[in-house]
A and B are shown apart, each in its own frame.
Chain A
């Protein structure tokens, strides 16, 4: 037996060592840019980042690039724009999907299974496949009514919501299927309205699934480039837009775009590390097995 335990322990240490090496390599790209973001312009351009390990104290460490990004390079207002795009684009599809999933799970109607299979099918449609007609339609609406969703945050909310809906409905419905039906029936008998059942019973019980999807959608929208570029573009630029713009100017020094990248990553990383458990659960729930 002790031979087996020794073997197991070797196995454990071997795996750990191997992982340290591979995970180390995996992290090098991120670390290299992180270190660069704290270097002065001259050093960032003239000496490789790994030299900071040779002489860490003599490196003119500075927050200058972060300061410049926030003030001059517009990352500060881009941060707010991104937030204005992301929060409703996360909450709205969840509300719509929760109501739809509720109907798919607890209410009877004709063709329920067929419609739901249709939603599963829509999960794989690429955004690009709908883009041109949607933009045409919005232009037509503008010509007819003078009201324009292009150049407007509401446009990003609508598009992000619509494209999030299939996956959101799928995840939430699968979760709601696991809730005890007897509970809902009991509430019906006690005279609760469907509205009350939805808000007081089903929504609170679905919090784990709601949270998983919310994190998923939040990161997705926060990191999106295309929709934000189309709808709010240069007028209210979001972070991905600004980072990409700075990336085109890396001749000014890598430290600028590096700092901008890390500013744009800050919120996703915080959300990710704080709520990792839910995020993982959301992923597991989303995969059709």
Chain B
């Protein structure tokens, strides 16, 4: 135990010290250059470590993944579109795609709606209560997907017949005279996938609430006062005056949640291990790569995932450019 701690401390100090040293060295190198070169190269000296990491660990691998998607499992030869044909003729993959679209269809909308509800409700109750309520809604954001899975596996727990129900869902069903269910195995209408989505909505609503709430607070008071003087009701006030002014934030929360949901992985791993038709792209990738060793197929899966994300990337860059133009 003590040696673990010492080793840990040493790693931390060496890791951080080495990076500081690297920057110092780069700065010193640039300082030795003639004035004119200094001006041209200083920015690149400071950018070098970050850019190296980005190029070597993000950009080049991303491109290689697309290349691997057209190669065999050992990356020794090209197989054309075989991996993609393999994927799209695999009923499991079609199931996975359907699930991913269901996730995109439900989770962002519910997360935004719940966030909007909490943001506007907490806006009415005065600062002290607002802070308490917000912390409680927000709290799940601090915990890991794995811990969240523990919490919800317990909610959905199903016990052998004859034993007392310890899962809340089954207890409620029984209270109303229903049959206890193995919730995570309910593949009809993909109820089990919906139950997994509830967890993410539960985790992410805090994020959406916080952003929407700060947008609501920045709505100019005059616009609200003016509408109130004109006799608008609270509902009208919200939908006609406040909502249009926070639309930009609502959209950005929506898109951020879509991006997050597309690469969802941990929650499926911890809840069902992808069984009972609950698998998603992120999980299928993990399965094909780590468990089955199908590198080509796994690459094709992330290639599909990345292609689905690219439109969102364009939206991000366009809205960033617009924001810059307004500076």
Residues of A at under 8 Å CB distance from B? 11-12, 15-16, 18-19, 22-23, 26-30, 32-33, 36, 44-50, 76-77, 80-81, 83-84, 87-88, 91-92, 95-97, 99-100, 102-104, 107-109, 112-113, 117, 119-134, 136-137, 153-154, 157-159, 161-163, 165-166, 169, 177, 193-195, 198, 219, 222-226, 239-240, 243-244, 247, 250, 254, 257-258, 261, 264-265, 268-269, 271-273, 276, 280, 283-284, 287-289
B102 part of interface (Cβ distance < 8 Å): no
Do B313 and A121 touch across chains, with their CB atoms under 8 A apart?
yes
Q: A80–B1 Cα gap in the complex (Å)?
A: 9
What is the bound-complex CA distance between A100 and B149, given in angstroms? 37
Selected A-B contacts with CB under 8 Å, 12 pairs: A18-B121, A29-B155, A84-B12, A95-B16, A126-B262, A166-B54, A219-B141, A226-B286, A243-B144, A258-B154, A264-B147, A289-B252
Name A162's contact: one of B58, B256, B298 (CB within 8 Å).
Answer: B58
| B:134-163 near A, CB below 8 Å | 135-147, 149-155, 157, 163
**A-B pairs with lowest CB-CB distance, top 4:** A223-B144, A162-B57, A130-B61, A133-B61
Contact of B316 (CB < 8 Å), options: A23, A76, A121, A226: A121
Q: Chain A's nearest CB lies how many Å from the CB of B2?
A: 10
Q: Does B302 contact A (CB under 8 A)?
A: yes
Task: From known contacts A18-B121, A129-B62, A157-B15, infer whether A29 and B151 are also in contact, taking CB-CB under 8 Å.
Answer: yes
Q: Does B190 sit at the interface, judged by CB under 8 A? A: no
User: What is the minimal beta-carbon distance from B103 to any residue of chain A, in angstroms?
Assistant: 14
What residues make up the interface of B, taking CB atoms closer than 8 Å to A?
1, 4-5, 7-8, 11-12, 15-16, 19-20, 23-24, 27, 31, 39-40, 42-44, 46-47, 49-51, 53-54, 56-62, 64-65, 68, 75, 117-118, 121-122, 124-126, 129, 133, 135-147, 149-155, 157, 163-166, 168, 171, 202, 207, 210-211, 214, 234, 248-249, 252-253, 256, 259, 262-263, 265-266, 269-270, 282, 285-286, 289, 295, 298-299, 302-303, 305-306, 309, 312-313, 316-317, 319-321, 323-324, 327
Nearest-CB distance from B140 to chain A (Å)?
7
Which of A124, A247, A268 touches B270 (beta carbons < 8 Å)?
A247
**Best-surrounded residue of A123, A169, A244 (most CB of chain B within 10 A):** A244
A28 to B295, CA, bound (A): 42
- The B interface, classified by DSSP as helix, strand, loop or mixed, is helix
Which residue from chain A places its CB closest to the CB of B248 in the assembled complex?
A: A289
Determine whether the beta carbon of A87 is less than 8 Å from that of B210. Answer: no
Q: How long is the Cα–Cα vector from A176 to B316 in the complex, in angstroms?
A: 20
**Interchain CA distance A92-B150 in the complex, whole Å:** 31
Contact A76 B262 (CB under 8 A): no
Please give, as numbers and ranges, the residues of chain A lying within 8 Å of B312 by CB-CB distance: 124
Residue in contact with A122 in the complex, picked from B59, B141, B234, CB distance below 8 Å: B59
Chain A residue contacts of B135, Cβ below 8 A: 273, 276
Give chain A nearest CB distance to B94 CB in angstroms: 20
CB-based contact A244/B146 at 8 Å: yes
B residues near A165, Cβ cutoff 8 Å = 50, 53-54
